[in-house]
C-alpha cells in the first residue's frame, strides 16, 4: 500500500470514527489548540466521574463559536476521574490570556476558579497545527447535602420500609424506587443539578453485572442438572448418613454448605443445595426454613474464608492486591469459630422443630427414599457434572486469566444446554429466578443513588472522624458499621464504597500495615450480610427459590432467626481481630 493510499485510508477512518463535535474538533485558520488535562477526586482521593469541566478566559466561559457547548459530553471526567480538553483558540489568547477552570458536579460543591499555569508549546500535530499544553491539574471536590441527598434518602428508606413490612413485594418496591430515582433525575434534574440523583448512564454502571450474569449462568446449570435427579438423590444420601438424627443432619448440611461456599461461592452453593434442602424438609414434614436459614448463614460464613467465596472478598482482594492464601490464612480460623457457635445456636433455636421431625422407623424411611429418589438421567449427570467441575476450576483460576467469574458461569450455562440438548427457552422460562435478578438490578440502582448523592459517604466520613488514629477503634468501627450497613443495603455496593476509606485508613493509622482493616471489612460485609433477607445475594436467591416453590418467609421471620447469630459472629470477630492483630 503506497503512502497516498495509506493517507486516504487514515483520513476516511478519521472522518468516520475519529472526529468529534466539541472542543477536540479541528481549529479554524489562525488558531492553535490548548490542551487542558488533569484528574478530579472526591474527598477520600477516589476518582470522580461525570464532573463537568469548563474553561474560562479572562473571567468568561470560553466556548469557541464553532464548537460545542458548556454541557457537551466532551468536557466531563471519565470513570477514572480524568479529563482532557482540546480547546481551539488564537495563539495570542492562549499565550497572553488568563485561563482558569471551573469544575461542577451534582451533589458536590462547585470548585473555586482553578488557574491554568505553565502553558508551553508542545509538538505540532500531524497536520502541522500548533499545540500548547498546560500543567496537569489534580482537583479535590467536597460533597454537599443538596436536595438530591434528601430525596435519595427518602426513596432509599421508603423502599426499605416497603420491603420490611411487606407492603409490596420486594421486587416491586425496588422497581418503583429505581424508577423514581431515574424519573426525578431526568425531569427536575434537567433544570436544576440539585435534583440529579443518578442518571441513566450512571445507573448502567452501578449495577454489578458480574453478579447478575453469575447468578443467571448458575441458575441455568442447576436447572439442567435437576433433570438428572441428582438433587433428590442427594436428599436421600443426606438422610442416610444422618441415620434419622435431624440435629446431625442439620449440622452436616451447614458444614457442607460452608465448605462448598468457600471454594464455589455462596450464591452458587445455595443454588445447588436449596432444591436438596426442600426435598429433605418435604420428606420430614417441616418448614424448609428450619434448614434453609441455617444454610444461608453457613454459606455467608464459609464464603468469608476465601478470596472467591463471597463477592465482597473478590472486590477487596482485587482492590487491595490480596491473594487467595492471604484470605485463607487470616480468615479461616475465625470462620471455624463462628461455625461452631452457629451449630450450638441452631440446636437452641430449632431444637423443637428437629424433635418434631424425628422419624421413628429410620431403616424403613431410608429404603423408601432409596427407591423414590434415584438418578433418572445418568447422561445429563455425567455431562452436567463435568461442565460444573470445569466452571469451578475457572472460578479458582479466574484471577490468573483476568476474567470475571460470570464469564465462566455463562460459558458453562451455554455449554451444558448445548451438550445435553436441553430446550433453552424452557430453561429460561422455568429455571431463571427473574424476580430475584430484577430485584438485584433495581436495588443496585437505588443504592447507587444513595452512593452518588453522598449518603454512604456520610457514613464513611463519620468513621474517619471517630477513629482519630486509634487502630482498635478503627477495626471495631469498620467491622460493626460494615456488618450493620451490609445487612441494610446489601454488602456488595457497601463494600465498594468502603474500599477507598479502608485504604486511606490503612495508610494513615499506625499498625494498620498488617492488613487488619481489610479483614475487618471482609468479616463485617460477609457476616453482616446474614442479618436480613436482603443483606447478601445468597439470601435473596435462596428465599426467592423457596417462595417460588410455595414456601415464603417474611422479612421479620428471617430477621428473628438470623439476626442473633449475626451479632454473635460479629462479637467473635471483634475479639479475634483485637487479640490477633
What are 208-258's pLDDT values in tens digits? 888 889 889 988 998 898 888 887 787 778 778 887 788 888 998 899 899
Element (H, E) at 203: helix 200-206
Q: Rounded to an integer, what distance in angstroms lies between the CA atom of residue 476 and that of residue 303?
A: 21
C-alpha cell of 53? 469541566
Among 60-69, 118-127, 227-236, 337-346, which is the least confidently predicted range? 60-69
Residue 49 lies in a domain: yes
Q: How confident is the model at residue 449 (pLDDT cuts 50, 70, 90)?
A: very high
Going 20 to 22 to 26 to 29, the CA torsion angle's sign is positive
For 33, the domain range is 21-140
3-state secondary structure of 349: helix
Q: Is residue 406 part of a domain?
A: no
- Check: CB of residue 27 under 8 Å from CB of residue 72: no
Residues 534 and 536: their CA atoms lie apart, in Å, by: 6
Residue in 103, 88, 91 with CA at minimum distance from that of residue 38:
103
What pLDDT sits at residue 41? Answer: 92
Give the list of residues 6+ apart from residue 554 with CB closer than 8 angstroms, or none: 166
The CATH number given to whatever domain includes residue 102 is 2.60.130.10
* Domain presence at residue 105: yes
* Whether pLDDT at 470 is above 60: yes
Confidence grade of residue 70 (pLDDT, cut at 50, 70, 90): very low
Does any domain span residue 31? yes
- Residue 372 vs residue 78, higher pLDDT: 78
Q: How confident is the model at residue 28 (pLDDT cuts 50, 70, 90)?
A: low
**Alpha-carbon separation of residue 552 from 356, 518, 544 (angstroms):** 21, 36, 8
Q: Under a CB-based contact definition with an 8 Å cutoff, are residues 11 and 127 in contact? A: no
Spacing of C-alpha 405 from chain mean position:
13
Residue 209 falls inside a structural domain? no
Does the pLDDT at position 11 exceed 70? no
Does the residue 122 lie in any domain? yes
Q: How far apart are CA 282 and CA 436, in angstroms?
A: 23
Cβ within 8 Å of residue 310, ≥6 positions away: 261, 265, 266, 300, 303, 304, 491, 525, 526, 529, 536
pLDDT of 71 reads 43
Average pLDDT over all residues of the chain: 85
Cell output for 181: 430515582
Identify the residue whose cell numbers are 423408601: 368
Among 21-30, 278-287, 377-386, the minimum mean pLDDT is found in 21-30
Is pTM beyond 0.75? Reply is yes
Instruction: Look at the chain and report how many structural domains it folds into.
Output: 1
Residue 164 covered by a domain? no
The answer to whether position 54 is within a domain reads yes
Q: Is the pLDDT of residue 143 over 80?
A: yes
Amino acid at each position: 500500500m503506497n503512502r497516498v493510499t495509506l493517507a486516504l485510508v487514515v483520513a476516511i477512518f478519521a472522518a468516520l470514527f475519529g472526529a468529534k463535535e466539541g472542543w477536540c474538533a479541528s481549529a479554524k485558520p489562525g488558531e492553535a489548540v490548548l490542551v487542558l488535562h488533569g484528574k478530579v477526586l472526591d474527598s477520600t482521593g477516589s476518582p470522580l466521574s461525570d464532573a463537568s469541566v469548563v474553561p474560562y478566559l479572562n473571567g468568561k466561559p470560553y466556548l469557541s463559536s464553532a464548537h460545542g457547548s458548556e454541557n457537551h459530553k466532551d468536557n466531563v471526567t471519565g470513570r477514572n476521574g480524568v479529563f482532557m480538553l482540546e480547546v481551539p483558540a488564537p495563539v495570542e489568547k492562549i499565550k497572553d490570556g488568563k485561563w482558569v477552570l471551573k469544575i461542577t458536579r451534582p451533589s458536590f460543591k462547585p470548585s473555586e476558579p482553578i488557574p491554568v499555569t505553565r502553558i508551553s508549546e508542545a509538538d505540532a500535530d500531524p497536520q502541522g497545527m500548533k499545540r500548547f499544553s498546560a500543567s496537569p491539574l489534580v482537583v479535590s471536590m467536597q460533597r454537599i447535602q443538596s436536595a438530591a441527598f434528601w430525596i435519595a434518602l427518602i426513596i432509599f428508606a421508603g423502599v426499605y420500609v416497603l420491603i420490611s413490612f411487606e407492603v409490596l413485594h420486594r421486587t416491586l418496591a425496588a422497581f418503583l424506587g429505581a424508577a423514581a430515582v431515574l424519573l426525578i433525575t431526568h425531569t427536575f434534574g434537567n433544570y436544576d443539578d440539585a435534583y440529579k440523583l443518578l442518571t441513566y448512564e450512571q445507573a448502567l454502571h452501578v449495577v454489578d453485572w458480574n453478579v447478575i450474569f453469575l447468578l443467571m449462568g448458575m441458575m441455568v446449570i442447576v436447572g439442567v442438572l435437576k433433570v438428572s435427579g441428582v438433587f433428590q438423590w442427594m436428599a436421600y444420601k443426606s438422610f442416610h448418613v444422618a441415620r434419622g438424627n435431624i440435629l446431625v443432619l442439620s449440622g452436616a448440611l451447614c458444614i457442607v454448605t460452608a465448605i462448598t461456599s468457600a471454594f464455589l461461592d455462596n450464591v452458587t452453593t445455595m443454588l445447588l443445595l436449596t432444591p436438596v434442602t426442600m426435598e429433605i424438609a418435604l420428606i420430614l414434614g417441616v418448614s424448609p426454613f428450619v434448614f434453609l436459614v441455617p444454610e444461608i448463614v453457613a454459606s455467608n460464613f464459609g464464603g468469608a474464608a476465601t478470596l472467591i467465596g463471597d463477592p465482597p472478598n473478590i472486590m477487596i482482594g482485587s482492590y487491595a492486591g490480596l491473594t487467595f492464601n492471604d484470605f485463607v490464612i487470616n480468615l479461616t480460623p475465625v470462620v471455624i469459630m463462628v461455625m461452631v457457635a452457629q451449630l450450638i445456636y441452631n440446636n437452641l433455636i430449632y431444637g423443637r422443630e428437629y424433635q418434631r421431625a424425628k422419624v421413628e422407623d429410620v431403616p424403613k424411611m431410608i429404603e423408601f427414599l432409596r427407591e423414590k429418589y434415584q438418578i433418572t438421567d445418568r447422561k445429563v449427570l455425567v455431562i452436567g457434572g463435568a461442565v460444573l467441575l470445569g466452571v469451578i476450576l475457572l472460578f479458582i483460576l479466574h484471577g490468573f486469566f483476568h476474567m470475571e467469574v460470570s464469564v465462566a458461569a455463562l460459558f458453562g450455562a451455554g455449554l451444558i444446554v448445548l451438550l445435553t440438548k436441553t430446550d433453552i427457552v424452557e430453561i429460561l422460562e422455568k429455571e431463571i429466578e427473574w424476580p430475584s435478578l430484577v430485584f438485584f438490578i433495581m436495588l443496585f440502582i437505588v443504592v447507587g443513588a444513595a452512593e452518588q448523592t453522598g449518603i454512604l459517604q456520610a457514613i464513611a466520613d463519620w468513621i474517619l472522624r471517630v477513629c482519630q488514629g486509634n487502630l482498635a477503634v478503627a477495626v471495631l468501627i469498620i467491622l460493626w458499621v460494615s456488618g450493620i450497613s451490609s445487612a441494610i443495603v446489601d454488602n456488595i455496593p457497601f463494600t465498594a464504597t468502603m474500599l477507598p476509606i479502608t485504604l486511606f485508613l490503612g495508610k494513615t493509622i499506625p499498625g494498620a500495615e498488617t492488613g487488619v482493616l481489610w479483614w475487618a471489612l471482609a468479616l463485617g460485609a460477609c457476616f453482616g450480610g446474614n442479618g436480613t433477607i436482603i443483606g447478601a445475594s445468597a439470601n435473596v436467591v435462596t428465599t426467592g427459590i423457596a417462595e417460588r416453590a410455595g414456601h415464603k418467609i417474611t422479612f421479620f421471620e428471617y430477621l428473628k432467626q438470623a439476626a442473633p447469630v449475626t451479632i454473635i459472629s460479629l462479637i467473635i470477630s471483634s475479639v479475634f481481630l483485637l487479640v490477633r492483630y
